[in-house]
Structure 1
Amino acid sequence: MKTPLSPSEANSGLYHYMTYLYHATRQYWLSCRRFHALQQIIRNQTLTTYFQPILNLQDGTCLGYEVLNRPPVSALFPHTESFYDFIGRTDQVFAFERFCRDISFNRFRFALIRSRKPADTLAFVNIHPQMLSDPGYRSGETIQLLSRYGLSPQQVVFELTEKQAVHDYVAFERILSHYRSQGFRIAIDDAGSGYNSLKAIVSLKPEFIKIDKSLIRHLHLHPNQQRIVKLLQEFAADSGTHIIAEGIEEAEELAFLQREGIVYGQGYALGRPATEMGTDILPLRLKELAH
């Protein structure tokens, strides 16, 4: 026979249950408010689009721009990461990706015109791997969208990140072959930050490998980081892939990468994300940054 709970034990259990119920209810209503805010952002197109240059570290010319869409800062979404983390926990991933793809191409084209950049400048667009697997996404909708904005598939590089792991590499490689046949290219983002990105590099054979900023930070001071970068560089050279060093913030990092023959780079030292496309860094200016 079970011993009856004492009044204090019973009250303790009730207290914990009420505390749990309070927090669960509060979290539910917070999610409802965030979902409503997300719908408003999509409906009113209140994302701000930024362009961060990817430059040739040897001559200062611009390869292209990474297209970044950021929500307005609010109490519900105090920073960009909280916004995208929330989307990942909803059933709105595909709808939001379609929305982002549309405004990214639209705003990229107009930014090219305003800045008088070459019409074939590359657009690096972050995309969820599951989005490429969606039958509706593979139906030619992307080609039609690009045609509407006067862009070509040869200008578009889909960035796949470490945070968005691919699970079936054989099936996904077939999907990528479909896109490559149309002229699209693939970049593996955050390379070297974890097992998934390294496996993706070997399995998917991307046209671009973007080395994670954690490997670039203070690269000139850490031999272990240098060895990993050199290994990635050797792999890229053997497989016909281009290396892009991300997160370059210091002149010493830039100088080391230039000496090692890394061709492309991205980071605050070269250009911060901006709503307009700036002037390319001239070779002389690039040398000044590296010294």
Structure 2
Amino acid sequence: MTKRKTWTQKLLAAPRHLQHINGRLRNEMKELGRLSALLDIMEQGRLDTFFQPILQLGNGRTMGHEVLNRPPHSAQFPTTEHFYEFAGRTDQMFRFEHYCRRISLSRYMERLPDAESGTDRLVFINVHPGVLNDSRHKSGETLSLLQELNLSPERVVFELTERQAVQDYVGFEKVLSHYREQGFRIAVDDAGSGYNSLKTLVYLKPEFIKLDKFLIRRIHSNREQQELLELISGYAARSATRVIAEGIETEEELLYLQMAGIEFGQGYALGRPGFLPEPGAFPSDSPQVSAGGGCKYVSSDR
């Protein structure tokens, strides 16, 4: 009787077990499809490259460009975020990062207008922290590429994002020191979006802090965001770090950041990502404000 009951329970459980196996197989097939698509994008050079200007908020001059590599739209990767999230957790991350670094710098120099070739504008390229610290990384590879392109390392900024959090800050700081000795500079992306970004600022002492776009969105009408901006700006001033506000989309946001004395800015209001690394500009009817006036609080609209 006990054996019959046991077999009955197993038979009843069989459909759920098969359903579980079927679900795992579907997920594994999806992962294989995404991996195949990632490899195809690299092998066929199918990433599109765009350049978004970064402006000095005091005078409107373009100080540099961030390089943005975007995959083609597909069922495997409906958004750019899906694509980079997947690439970051595969065993192809090291190869993918090297591919991105090469096309970012090569396409920048290829598309740079002749009138801009003699400038000292900076090039911000996104870098996965784990790749810089990877044992497979060969010292001098990026320098060799820059020599081929006739691009000075002093013009290149490695942009680290909080989404790829650093684990060993002490060891990673030593790696960054090696790059700084070669002339490269460091930017921390997404600052103000979480605890890890604050640890990164303290330990890695970047040359640039890029403020997260969610901190900038409607900052002109949100006191809490303004207070956080003031704290980060004060820290940056004391540590000789320069601040870049990302995601500026309206004239109101731009005006507040100018009044708050933020040195640099990036966003649709200043220039959308384009095929060529061309200069950005203030909105045509934007009022001119002298930067450096300090933060001015306004009432929150929440």
Q: Give, in whole Å, the separation in 2 of the partners of 1:289 and 1:196.
A: 36
36-45 vs 198-207, greater mean Cα deviation: 36-45
How far off its partner does 1:135 sit? 3.7
* One-letter amino acid matched to 1:255: L
* One-letter amino acid matched to 1:77: F
Which secondary structure state, in structure 1, belongs to the residue aligned with residue 86 of structure 2?
helix
How far off its partner does 1:288 sit? 4.5
Q: Deviations over 1:96-149 (max 9, x none)?
A: 000000000100111223563544221101101111112443510110011111
How far off its partner does 1:279 sit? 3.6
Partner of residue 255, structure 2: 255
Does residue 109 of the first structure (1) align with residue 85 of the second (2)? no
Which secondary structure state, in structure 2, belongs to the residue aligned with residue 164 of structure 1?
coil
Which secondary structure state, in structure 1, belongs to the residue aligned with residue 262 of structure 2?
coil
How far off its partner does 1:153 sit? 0.7
Partner of residue 73, structure 2: 73
Partner of residue 30, structure 2: 30
Given that 1:112 and 1:118 are in contact with CA atoms closer than 8 Å, whether structure 2 keeps it comes out as no
Partner of residue 142, structure 1: 142
Does residue 280 of the first structure (1) align with residue 277 of the second (2)? no
Partner of residue 269, structure 2: 269
Partner of residue 296, structure 2: none
Q: Deviations over 1:60-112 (max 9, x none)?
A: 10111110111111111111111111112210010000000000010011122
Partner of residue 239, structure 2: 239
Which secondary structure state, in structure 2, belongs to the residue aligned with residue 210 of structure 1?
strand
Q: Give, in whole Å, the separation in 2 of the partners of 1:289 and 1:72.
A: 39
What does residue range 1-291 of structure 1 map to in structure 2 within 5 Å?
4-5=5-6, 7=8, 9-113=9-113, 116=116, 118-281=118-281, 285=284, 287-288=286-287
C-alpha distance 257-109 of structure 1, shift in aligned 2 (>3 A): same
* One-letter amino acid matched to 2:233: Q
Q: Give, in whole Å, the separation in 1 of the partners of 2:12 and 2:88.
A: 36
Given that 1:217 and 1:247 are in contact with CA atoms closer than 8 Å, whether structure 2 keeps it comes out as yes
C-alpha distance 196-3 of structure 1, shift in aligned 2 (>3 A): farther
Q: Give, in whole Å, the separation in 2 of the partners of 1:99 and 1:115.
A: 28
* One-letter amino acid matched to 1:168: D
Q: Percent identity?
A: 50
What count of residue pairs does the alignment treat as equivalent? Answer: 288
Q: Deviations over 1:144-187 (max 9, x none)?
A: 01111111110110011111111111111111110000100000
Given that 1:245 and 1:262 are in contact with CA atoms closer than 8 Å, whether structure 2 keeps it comes out as yes
What residue ranges of structure 2 are gaps of 5+ in the alignment?
290-302
Partner of residue 300, structure 2: none
Q: TM-score, normalised by structure 1?
A: 0.93
Which secondary structure state, in structure 2, belongs to the residue aligned with residue 4 of structure 1?
helix
* One-letter amino acid matched to 1:278: E
How far off its partner does 1:10 sit? 3.8
C-alpha distance 57-2 of structure 1, shift in aligned 2 (>3 A): farther
* One-letter amino acid matched to 1:265: G
Given that 2:211 and 2:246 are in contact with CA atoms closer than 8 Å, whether structure 1 keeps it comes out as yes
Q: Give, in whole Å, the separation in 1 of the partners of 2:285 and 2:143.
A: 36
How far off its partner does 1:12 sit? 3.9
Q: Deviations over 1:209-239 (max 9, x none)?
A: 0011111011011111101101111111111
How far off its partner does 1:39 sit? 1.2
Q: TM-score, normalised by structure 2?
A: 0.90
Q: Give, in whole Å, the separation in 2 of the partners of 1:108 and 1:12.
A: 62
